[in-house]
Amino acid sequence: MFFFPYKLDVSLYRIPFLTAFVCLLCFLTFSRQMSADSHYLRRISTHCAQAVDPNLQAILSSTSADGEHRGCVENLLLLRSADAREATIAEMARQRSDLSFYADPAKDIDYKSAKISSGFADFERAVPPLMTDKLAYDPSHYDVVRMLTSTFAHASWSHLIGNLIFFFIFASFVESAIGYVYYLLAFLLMAVTCSLAYSYSVGSAEGALPTVGLSGVVMGMLALITTLMPTARVRCLFWFLIFLRRFSLPLIVIALWYVGWDLYDHYASAGRSTINYVAHISGAATGAVLGLLFRLVHADRMRVLSAEMER
């Protein structure tokens, strides 16, 4: 089954320069991510082969508690992603009980821990993190710059293309309806509030995943334009097996459909999904509030929009 809203059936006479720029920036950012990250594992392998001394190589060649063998590359990646890095280093040192450099067990573990720590510091200097990791927003750190950079970064081509299609469909009309200045402020506010809501939702939970993507802003733009034009029609395509049909629905129905599914999926997944439903829901809430405020403050502009919808 396939359901796809593909066009808002409204004519607003303004070229959506900022929307097009955001789409281009997302595309260029993701292209740069793919280019930079494609060489990442190769650089780590080269570092392990050429810059890691034999003692550290032996220490990093270990077997985990579940019986999985890990070498230099795997253990360096494990350390880079570890929340409690010192504890992880200590555990690695203890795991190599079959490898001894000193007769005194305590001194031996201290040596291994120091060796791993210094080796990891060399690795951090030699091999920068994934570009995606540098752009992503970590919910445990309130970093406004990352709140914005994570909005333009994406996890895959399908993630990027899906977001850009829906973003352009709805955001272009938001830009035409409220103007460039309000649009830019709305975009920035949505990006920040989605990240803040995600941080609040995970609290101090360990292992909360960093997040990337435009989807929170997409939902915000959908909610904003819905509050301005709830009865505007959206052209949709529906396909199921041999059944194919095109039809139109009111914008309010489309918005309620997507927000409703996000709410259902958020609670059904119980926090186990890698999709950031909190960003979707908080983005929609932000967009709805901004749309209602615009209606209250700019009644004259709303009359113009109503007249344009009736053409």
- In a 3-state reduction of DSSP, which class is residue 248? strand
User: How many Å separate Cα 147 from the centre of its chain?
Assistant: 10
Mean pLDDT score, 203-212: 79
Helix segments in 17-71, DSSP class H: 17-37, 40-51, 54-60
Contacts for 254 with CB less than 8 Å, ≥ 6 apart:
5, 222, 226, 234, 236
What's this model's pTM, rounded to 2 decimal places? 0.83
Q: Give tens-digit pLDDT for 14-29.
A: 789 999 999 999 999 9
Window from 189-193, 248-252, 282-286 with minimum mean pLDDT: 248-252
Please give the full DSSP string across 186-233, using - where no structure is assigned: HHHHHHHHHHHHHHHHHTT-TTPPPB--SHHHHHHHHHHHHHH-TT-E
- Residue 61: per-residue pLDDT: 83
Does the pLDDT value for residue 98 go beyond 90?
no
- Residue 132: per-residue pLDDT: 92
- Residue 97: per-residue pLDDT: 75
